[in-house]
Amino acid sequence: MIPELRSPTPEEWREQVRAERRSPVPLLDGASAGPLGAWFELPVSAATVVSTILDDVLRDGDAAVRLWTQRLDGVDVAVTRVPAGALARAWESTDPGVRGAIAAAAARIREIHERQRDIALRGIASAHLRPLPLRRAGCYVPGGRAAYPSTVLMNVIPAQIAGVSEIALVSPPGPDGSVHPLVLASAHHLGVSEVHAVGGAQAVGALAYGTASIAQVDKITGPGNLFVTLAKRAIFGEVGIDGVAGPSEIVVIASDGADPVLVAADLVSQLEHDPLAWAVCLTDSASLAQGVRAAFSEQAAEAARSGIIAAASGRHGAVVVTAGLEEARLLADEFAAEHLSLQGRAAEALRDAPHTASAVFVGRRSPVSMGDYVAGPNHTLPTGGAARHRGPLSVMDFQRWQSVVDLTGEEFDTLAPVACTLAAAEGLLGHERAIRLRMDDRHAHE
C-alpha cells in the first residue's frame, strides 16, 4: 500500500467526520480479537469484553487481575508491584543521554505546570470554594514491548504539583513480567515508588474498585488502547477520569509561505501512532496542497512505520483546499482537533483566535512533536471532538473544589427569610423549619 493523502472537498471531509464520529464500537472478529478469541464467542463487541473483565475484577480482585493478564499478555504476574530496587536499577542502567533527556524534559514540564496550581479561595470569607488535592491518583502508561517515558512525566508531574499524596502508576508487563525499564526509570526519577505491572481493562478495574494489592484511587488518568478507553468510560462515576481518548489527531491550517516538507512531516509524525489516526491539511493554496501531497508520499514511503502510515492516510489522511482561510478555520473548529498547527504567515496570524482545538502549535519552530515531549504543556489531550469542552491534562485535574459556608449572624438574618420563602414555594417545609428554628434560637439569645 502506497501512503497517499486523499483530496476531498470541504463538504466531503465534513461528511466523513460526521459519519465516523457517530460510528459504533467495533466488533472483534477472528482477525482482530487476538487472544480474546480463546475466551469469547466471536464476533464480540469490545464493550462486552471490557464489561466481563471489570465484573471479574470487582468480584475476584487480584485473582482476576492475574488471570486476565495471563490470558491477554501471555505472562503470569503473581505480584504486580515492582520492587523499589528494580526502579533504581532501571534508572542506573539507562543510557546517560536518555537519563539527561528525561531529566531535562521533566524540569521543563514541571516549570510550566507549577504555574497552574490554584491556591486561592474563590468567594468571600463566609462562603467560598477552596482547592484541595486529590488523595490518590492512578496513572496509566501504555507499555509492554513499547516504552513511553514521556507519558510518565506528563501524568505524574501535574499530580505531584497538585499535592496528591499517593500516586500509583500502572503499565502492562513485558515478556519478563515487569514494566518496561524506561517507564521504571522515569518513575524513579520522579520519586514514584508504587508501580504495578498490569495493563488493559484489568488495570483500570483494579484502580477503580481496589484490590488487596492495589488500593482504590480517586481518579485515573493516561492514554491506552480501545479496551482501556472503554474501561475508563465504564468506571466513570466510581472514580474520576481525565477523559475518553481516541486515535491521535492533527489538523494543519497552512497558507502561502508554509514549507510543504515540514507540513508533510507533521502529518507523518501523527499518523505513525495508529492506523486510525487523523491527519489533515486545510489550505487555501492549491499549489501548496500539491506540494504537501508530494512531500507526504515521499516521506511516508521511507518512514519506519510506513505500513501504519499508509493504513491511516487511506482512512483519515487528507489535504483539503478551501475557498479561504476563514473556511479552513471553520472546518478546523468543527473538527475540534487534539492538535492544531498553524503554518504560513497568514495562518500563523490566527494564533489568538478562539480555536476549539485542545493544543495550538504556531509556526515552523513549534512542531507538534515538541509538544509530545518537552514544550511544556501537557500532551495528554482530548480527542474525538472533546476539545470543545475540555483542554489538556493539568494540575487542576488533580484538584477538587470544596465549598465552605460559615455565615455571620448578620448574613444569616439577611438571608434566612429569603431561603424560607423559597423553601415554602418549593413545598419543602422541612427545609423551612430547619432555618426558622435557627431564626427563633438567634432571637432568643439576643
Say yes or no to pLDDT of 442 above 70: no
Considering the domain 84-241 in this protein, what is its CATH number? 3.40.50.1980
- Per-domain boundaries in the chain: 10-21+246-389, 84-241, 407-444
Reported as a single tens digit per residue, the pLDDT across 296-322 is 999 999 999 999 999 999 999 999 999
Catalytic residue among 194, 249, 338, 432: 338
Reported as a single tens digit per residue, the pLDDT across 84-130 is 999 999 999 999 999 999 999 999 999 999 999 999 999 999 999 99
What confidence category does residue 3 fall into, taking pLDDT thresholds of 50, 70 and 90? confident
Whether 254 contacts 282, CB under 8 Å:
yes
Say how far apart CA 41 and CA 30 lie, in whole Å.
10
132 forms beta bridges with: 400
How much of the chain exceeds pLDDT 70, in percent? Answer: 97
Return mean pLDDT, the chain.
Answer: 95
339 is catalytic: yes
Whether 108 contacts 236, CB under 8 Å:
no
**Residue 267 burial (10 A CB sphere; 0-12, 13-18, 19+):** buried
Half-sphere exposure of 332 (CA within 13 A, CB side): 34
Query: In CATH terms, are 10-21+246-389 and 84-241 the same topology?
Result: yes
Task: Dump strand ranges (E) for 210-266.
Answer: 219-221, 240-241, 249-254
Concatenated DSSP letters of 82-134:
PPHHHHHHHHHHS-HHHHHHHHHHHHHHHHHHHTT-----EEETTEEEEEEE-
Catalytic residue among 339, 348, 379, 432: 339
Q: Please, what sign has the CA dihedral across residues 245, 246, 247, 252?
A: negative
Reported as a single tens digit per residue, the pLDDT across 346-370 is 999 999 999 999 999 999 999 999 9
pTM of the model: 0.94
Please, what CATH class does the domain formed by 10-21+246-389 belong to? alpha beta
